[in-house]
Chains A and B, each alone.
Chain A
Amino acid sequence: MIRRFSADVAIVGGGLVGSSAALALRKAGLSVILMDKGFCGAQASGVNYGGVRRQGRSVAQLPLSQRAHQIWPRLKELIGIDGEYQRSGHLKLARKPEDFARLEQYAETVKPFGLNLELFTGAMAKTRFPWLSGNVAGASFCPDDGQANPRLVSPAFAKAARDAGAIVLEQTAVHAAVRTSDGFALQAGTDCEITCHFLINSAGAWANKIATDFDEPAPLSRIYPSMVVTEPLALRLPVSLGEEGGGFYCRQVQRGNYIMGGGRGYALIDPDFSRPSTAAALAVMKRATTLFPHLAGAHVIRFWSGTEGQLPDNNPVIGRSGTTPGLFHAFGFCGAGFQVAPAVGAILCDLVTSGETATPIAAFSIERFHNMPPQHNKKKGTHNEMVE
């Protein structure tokens, strides 16, 4: 028995990008079908570090990031929960003087965007943040950056979209998508046929299937963050913390657990599943005890990983297809998609409803990869930008 659906917009991929787009589109009055091959918010959107950070992003991403910054405080009103979002501040540490010089340079570069970065030399940093230990050459603090719980936020966007009238089909992989005279026809799951006017490809690390189906493959590879969480401990770390160069990042949630990450995990035989690498996890644990001697007696209770899409220039693909009218892409967030994702959903809604958006996204066009030599497709994401 074939199940037939038809909607204004079909969205492939129920991560935070797809789910927030679904919610925005429903609020704009369009009918929406949101599909996920597994469960909404169960992949990168749900298992990332949970950093809600503008600091450290490229200039190209800052307008997008600032738009997201306006959305995060409104989560309760948008999705019914605050998602444990708090503007705890984000502290970026420099271990060596040359790292600090880069932080100073960055602060200068992004001054026009109003991140209000505060710079501290090593000694000043330890005065201002007395819980810091180990070698710190300097630090840059962004007081209004923060953190949230991705496990809750991402599924809550999908639930809000469903409550707003979107049809949400989980465990429903899209097998085929073709352009028709007035839109698209999709085959999904075991028994679904879907027709739609607009198609959004927000399938994260799996997005290249649809991009390729429409003749514009991106050089998308996969990265696997390596995360570690401790038992609940007395509250002591008030900020989200990262290291310039990305070797280590850490935050403490209100329940007391320290969440920390660094390095990379690896894929299992089924590349849709990944594990944190023990070497990376042990390095993170070691770094944590150096920075926070008070953790010397604590225990780690779990490691985890996830699957994220990586692109060679560390920027995502966001925007209209270069080959197919009515198709929009938003994927490849290179381990830094959590904070910007709600704004990406809003931008996708802008593009579908009006054909344009006020947020500059030209740098993220998929067309930058058109005519790229195919060997680039194999390039591994080796950069050190932190996954948060």
Chain B
Amino acid sequence: MSLFDDNVNRRLILKTGLAGAAIATAPFHFVRGAGAADYRNMPKGKSVIFGFNVPQTGAYADEGADELRAYKLAVQHINGEGDGGMLNTFTSKELKGNGVNGKKVEFVTGDTQTKSDAARASAKRMIEKDGAIMITGGSSSGVAIAVQGLCQEAGVIFMAGLTHSNDTTGKDKKANGFRHFFNTEMSGAALAPVLKNAFGTDRTAYHLTADYTWGWSQEGSIKKYTEALGWKTAAAVRTPLGAGDFSQYITPVLNSGADVLVLNHYGKDMVNSLTQAVQFGLRDKQVNGKDFAIVVPLYSRLMAQGAGKNVQGIFGSTNWHWSLQDEGSKAFVKSFGQAYGFPPSQAAHTCYVQALLYADACQRAGSFAPCDVAKALEGFKFDGMGNGATEYRAEDHQCFKDVLVVKGKENPDSKFDVLEVVEVTPRSQVEYKPDLLGGQLGSCNNGA
């Protein structure tokens, strides 16, 4: 038998070759960002492209315009232009105002039209044609969930804009998707104690609910928390999205025995249903020996302006408000106000923060590879962004932070001054277990 038997030699050569290759490549697995060699839209030049997918037409066009203003401001600050805004107050100091990972940030925009199919089409175009490394934006949960799904399949990170439904980081959560905005579960938890103090525990609520994912989620959360207080629910009526005239849904409230009307409406529907509820005298009505109350669980300052004086004295919750006096909020309001001449909305705030958080995560990861960025975002704790100490929870990619309870201001000083903060609900009070809202994150997708 030969020392160099054919089979042995072949095996030996194969084993030696594989071992050599493994040894040769092993160090790169431990080098930060080394895995970034192969992922969707890896930036090759001196710039990196962000995709801002916001409603530029349709019912939420004003909100979308504010989001776009905030994104542009964020890009300026990341690239070292302007006064730096929240980068000066952000506890992470990785971003130096020279872009991200040595690359200048550029952006492309898409128009979601607040329609899921249009939003997916514009996100797809930005990913496939424009080479966007990340998609962010949106002013609707339906859109956010649709675009989040697309980004997961395409292998890019999705940083959600204004989306309040539990489902975005609940049953429809994705490994490539991250949400800074709060959700209906948190709204319910934050509002309940304030409602108890204002209206007591012996109340009967009547819900009017927008008939889509966000409305159902909002109704469920508010019912859960108010019923835990001891409130009863007289009825929960679904109304078509964009109904316009809600009179036929409001008149049954008059003689239902309910003494609280909960309007699970957002945007134009909120403006219309609230205006009409006030016209029907509900705000001034007495039922069961108590003053009738109206609650709008999710407030938007832009929309509250649309409802005019009708919002006065009405409670709701919001993710952020420009009147906050922490250093981060003041820095952002100053930058935004100087650039555009008016204060930013909560939609603008969450979008601005999401853009900075993404850029910071890339910088910390030393890579734009979605799975590296996702790892950098998971469990990330930060402050200085306007909501106090905040954490991007690893288990569901939901940000946990303080939640604001607001009330329509009785004597506003200006047309922007329509809401006042009545309670800053601490994070501990709105936090819930990761498995409460269902869903599975799945695996991160690099898109290669």
A and B found bound together = no
